[in-house]
Structure 1
Amino acid sequence: MLTYDTLLFDLDGTLTDPKPGITKSVQYALARFDIDVPDLEVLVPFIGPPLAESFHHYYGLTPEQAQQAIAYYREYFADTGLYENAVYPGIPALLADLRASHKRLLVATSKPTVFAERILAHFDLAHYFELIVGSELDGTRIAKADVIAYALASLPAPAYQNAIMIGDRKHDIIGAQQNGLPSIAVTYGYGSYEELQDQQPTHLIDSVSNLAILLGHEMKAESASV
């Protein structure tokens, strides 16, 4: 059982499963470049990392092209892809228990803040979080380390001295380490066990129910099946 008072949660792959919306938005953006990707599974690696990084890494887009691809991505995502998403079973109960125990909860995501806020409000999760921090629409503050640093700087000093980052991709773990935070890597999201283990997180968890146990909030099996 951990006794951290401030918990920073990643969004995609940690609180919600955004696979359909993100992959369809990427597919739409690539199609605008005449890149046809019929199999959405191929686009799963886009979930988590900054989009510009992924468009360059996987499809060789220049920085300028990547920014245009992001604009195309948002054409689909802002109205449709945003809601092609689902909350992982057990997450609402865990967040409610944590808040009832007077834990300070924050979201730290590479997704633009405006989209993160809309998603969390749509799924009735926003009220659990004291602060929701993401990237800016102009492309700034996209690195997870910068997102975490901004979130911590928004808190009173004692609060972030007992904080931990929870996420499903290596960027979450690296970002935590760069800010001097311990971390919990969750393998039920989109980072492989190998990807996460290579970054040496403080803890490695395979389900929402085991995350709850680690945080001292064991839940009924039927409410945390992931």
Structure 2
Amino acid sequence: MKKVVLFDLDGTLTDSSEGILKSIRYMLTKMILPIPDEETLHSFIGPPLRETLHHLYELTDQEARQAEGFYREYFAEHGIQQLSVYDGVAEMLGNLSKEYTLAVATSKPEVFARQIIEGIGLTKYFAGVFGADLIGERSKKVDVITYALAQLKDSAAVMIGDRKFDILGAKANQLRSIGVLYGFGHYEELAEAQPEKIVKTVEELPAAVREVLRM
């Protein structure tokens, strides 16, 4: 029975910052909310959108749902195409797919995640693409990972991601984890979350996965 390797999407497989940030600016403009500095804008990438809106703007649940609707309005038409695959990802997935069952576990709505994976030509590598629902009941990474594992019949192995949410979500599900530094997180954030390993490049991932699974 193959073991499972779960991948985050944004910041791990794709550089989706252009589409996400443009969607956020559109959303904030429609909500007549101030657009923050670049560092704060980047903090939207990773955690559930409503969670960040509550934290930064103290929106009510109704206001956050309205804002989320504006975000999806832009993203569905434009933002979903404004991304690129990190160099070496297809080769890395091809390498690992020979030994492991690969799947995506993302806080992005599953309907968008599936479209993205298909659009960038990576569908053949994955046994499943699992993401958030559209009503907000499954939005945190820990819940998405739980959901993904429930759908996959093989034994769990490791979660790979660029933000602390990936690492902490893995720990809550008794998974090992690998943090990547080429995405949207930074070393201090990942180190504090304590993954089993942190890598700098896509090319390091196959060896890192095998090393972590030998621990």
TM-score (norm 2): 0.92
Cα distance between partner residues in 2 of 1:96 and 1:211: 12
1:143/1:38 CA distance change after superposition, 3 Å: closer
State how far apart, in whole Å, the 1-side matches of 2:37 and 2:187 are. 23
Q: Which residue of 1 aligns with 2:15?
A: 17
Instruction: Please state whether the residue corresponding to 1:110 is helix, strand or coil.
Output: strand
| Alignment counterpart, residue 170 of structure 2, candidates 140, 165, 176 | 176
CA contact (8 A) 2:16 2:82 kept: yes
> Partners of 1:38 and 1:179 in 2: how far apart?
34
Distance 1:154 1:92 in 2: 24
CA distance in 1, matches of 2:167, 2:150: 18
CA deviations over 1:33-66 (Å, ceiling 9, x no partner): 2124285554111111110011111222222211
Corresponding residue number in structure 2 for 1:47: 45
Unaligned runs of 5+ in 2: 211-215
SS of residue paired to 2:5: strand
Q: 1: distance between equivalents of 2:186 and 2:77?
A: 30
Distance in 1, Cα, partners of 2:135 & 2:101: 29
2:142 counterpart letter in structure 1:
A
Query: In 2, distance between residues paired with 1:58 and 1:45?
Result: 10
Are residues 1:74 and 2:72 paired?
Answer: yes
CA RMSD, aligned part only?
1.7
SS of residue matched to 2:32:
coil
Which segment drifts farther, 39-48 or 111-120?
39-48
* Structure 2 match to 1:104: 101
Please point out which of 104, 110, 113 is paired with 1:113. Answer: 110
Q: Pick from 147, 150, 163: which aligns with 1:150?
A: 147
Say whether residues 1:132 and 2:129 are aligned partners. yes
| Paired letter, 2:20 | I
Structure 2 counterpart of 1:187, from 176, 181, 191: 181
Match of 1:206 among 191, 200, 204: 200
- Aligned equivalents of 1:18 and 1:61: distance in 2? 25
| TM-score (structure 1 length as normaliser) | 0.88
Q: More displaced, 84-93 or 202-211? A: 202-211
- Give the secondary structure class of the aligned counterpart of 1:163: strand
Partner SS, residue 215 of structure 1: helix
